[in-house]
Chains A and B, each alone.
Chain A
Amino acid sequence: MKTILSEQQLALTVKRLAHQILENNLQLADTVIIGLQPRGIFLSDRIVNELKKLVEPGLIRYGKLDITFYRDDVRKSLHIANATDIPFSIENKKVVLIDDVLYTGRTIRAALDALLDFGRPSKVSLCVLIDRRFSRELPIQPDYTGKVIDTIISQKVKVFWKEKDDSEEVILLDS
């Protein structure tokens, strides 16, 4: 077991990601933030909280997307859906997708399919806390990255959040 990000580092990383998103989407007028259920929303909640300190909070459009019904492995395993809540149009908006760990890229592939059923965004970018590079099964890359790590398949990356797991850190497990 190895700590990748401590609680203090995690808080700084979230702040940096929020600033980077703002840098590229000044004022956030044409931008919407969408967190991926279930575990991406802990990160997106924090990024949105940081953004609220930096711009007029009423300007931020923030939604949650569940991609369960878009998975490509329905026959292999059953997944239980969480709530999707996108109470605004994404037509011609710049969408920032937020998830905790980018690994094979299959979740993001499903998220892109799901997103297109809500309208045609002018641009979609991807923000992740951890990028497990060299593990991709699809040509998908993040635009905003908390930390890049090199891992092998047998290893596991665990992201813990206070409200769910009682601690707040990112660790790497060898198994």
Chain B
Amino acid sequence: MKLSTKHLLGIKDLNREDIQLILSTAEQFKEVLQRPVKKVPSLRDITIVNLFYENSTRTRMSFELAEKRLSADVLNFAASSSSSAKGETLLDTVNNILSMKVDMVVVRHSASGAPHFLSQHIPAAIVNAGDGINEHPTQALLDAYSMQEKLGKLEGLKVAIIGDIMHSRVALSNMYLLRKMGAEVMVAGPPTLIPKYISEALGVRVEYNLKKALQWCDVANVLRIQLERQNQPLFSSLREYNLAYGIKRKLLESLGKDIVIMHPGPINRGVELDSDVADGPYSIILNQVENGVAVRMAVLYLLANRES
């Protein structure tokens, strides 16, 4: 058994079996991370470059830790401190790095499709760590892993994705993944942040009322308001957004049911999520971060074999 793709460019390219294989392999890696020695020699002769053209804390550290736990050799690249600042193109940069014998490239880029472009031109395995407003596949995989771990299943689960759906690669990857695994998905937020034909295109429900969305769902995946990707005002103020769509402890308590709150980070506290929710009993946000390492280890391990 192996993955049906040579790269992880997006959840869109994966089938159900691929997703199941990644999640079950991640479970074994999670056990590795509980051992006295949290490291295995699996990728001892594999070199991986982390190519980050966009800022990142969690994802970059999570990938780097995953690579180190697998005993891979790791190169880190941050655009701000590199020759990109002198005008070198993406393809030139990557070809130069590859001539130093690198096997895998983990790439984050503000342009949607950058990982796909690289996969067409270079022989290394590409892992998408977030490209523009397209996909963030490892985030969706770790979200799914965390939901499955907390609630025991994905099939039939009701998941609401709340907030800036329009600009969120996390939302798109999550929608692809959850639909493939048989979960029901609802997107909720202000009409200006939800693409018009999303319901027909992706088979998800649309809800503009936060309370109704929360009443419906088992899991609420709350997204960050991405001000850096909004080039025109889509709501009047952050304060007003918080009043209409911010998740508050009182609101959750008024539902009178169990609900799981997730967030891909970084959190805008007091905007999409209040602090007493983010740090409260409903939240599994830090479990998501912990699971991220195991899920990324699984992805890297499954893609490292290049025989086919």
Contacts and interface: CB of A to CB of B under 8 A. Distances in A.
Given A69-B41, A69-B42, A118-B37, A78 B28 contact: no
B149 to A, nearest CB: 15
Contacts of A114: 40
Nearest to B308: A78
A24 B43 CA distance: 38
Q: Name the residue among A70, A74, A85 with the largest chain B CB count within 10 angstroms.
A: A74
B222 to A, nearest CB: 33
A80 B25 contact: yes
Interface residues of B, number: 28
A76 B45 CA distance: 12
Contact of A81 (B2, B25, B45, B46): B25
B65 interface: no
Contacts of B46: 74-75
Given A69-B42, A75-B45, A81 B307 contact: no
B35 interface: yes
B66 to A, nearest CB: 13
Interface in A91-118: 113-114, 116-118
Nearest to A114: B40
A57 interface: no
B196 to A, nearest CB: 42
A83 B28 contact: yes
Given A84-B28, A84-B31, A119 B36 contact: yes
B78 interface: no
Interface SS of chain A: loop
Contact of A70 (B35, B36, B42, B305): B42
Interface string B292-308: 00000000011011110
B85 interface: no
B39 A117 contact: yes
A83 B301 CA distance: 16
Given A70-B40, A70-B42, A117-B39, A81 B28 contact: yes
B41 A113 contact: yes
Contacts of A118: 35-37
B36 A117 contact: yes
A18 B147 CA distance: 43
B17 to A, nearest CB: 12
Contact of A78 (B2, B32, B37, B40): B2
B31 A78 contact: no
Most chain-A CB neighbours within 10 Å: which of B2, B40, B304? B40
A77 B305 CA distance: 6
B52 to A, nearest CB: 26
A138 to B, nearest CB: 16
Contacts of B118: none
Contacts of A84: 28, 31-32
Interface in B11-52: 21, 24-25, 27-29, 31-32, 35-37, 39-46
Contacts of A76: 305, 307
Nearest to B31: A84
Contacts of B41: 69-70, 113
Contacts of B28: 66, 68-69, 81-84
B1 interface: yes
B6 to A, nearest CB: 12
Contact of B306 (A75, A117, A119): A75
Nearest to A67: B40
Given A84-B31, A117-B36, A118-B35, A75 B42 contact: no
Nearest to B37: A117
14 contacts: A66-B28, A69-B29, A71-B42, A74-B42, A74-B44, A74-B45, A80-B1, A80-B25, A83-B27, A84-B31, A84-B32, A117-B35, A117-B36, A117-B37
Interface of B: 1-2, 21, 24-25, 27-29, 31-32, 35-37, 39-46, 70, 301-302, 304-307
- Top 10 A-B pairs ranked by shortest CB distance? A117-B37, A69-B40, A78-B305, A81-B28, A69-B42, A78-B2, A84-B31, A80-B1, A74-B42, A117-B35
